[in-house]
């Protein structure tokens, strides 16, 4: 999957740093690009990713939550 959709959720777990969540809040280029808000397990916003969906998926061990 190389496309985003609004509301799509992602998760990544790190044994040292904890669990992080990503939620797509905006898409462009028919879902090929977008903005993902990244939070921790207490809903604190830590960062945002804006860019290509393929780059986001390759940036770590992000798993799509279905």
Q: How far is CA 42 from the centre of its chain?
A: 16
What is residue 1's predicted lDDT score, i.e. its pLDDT?
59
Count of C-beta atoms within a 10 Å radius of residue 41: 11
Which segments in the chain show pLDDT lower than 70? Answer: 1
Q: Find where tokens 């860019």 sit.
A: 51
pTM score:
0.90
Count of C-beta atoms within a 10 Å radius of residue 61: 9
CA distance 5 to 14: 25
What is residue 12's predicted lDDT score, i.e. its pLDDT?
93
Token pair listed for 40: 């921790």
SS3 of 43, please? coil
């Amino acid at each position: 999957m190389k496309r985003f959709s609004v509301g799509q959720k992602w998760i990544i777990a790190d044994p040292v740093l904890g669990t992080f969540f990503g939620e797509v809040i905006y898409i462009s280029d028919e879902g090929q690009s977008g903005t993902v808000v990244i939070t921790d397990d207490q809903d604190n916003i830590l960062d945002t990713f804006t860019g290509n969906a393929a780059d986001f998926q390759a940036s770590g061990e992000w798993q799509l939550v279905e």
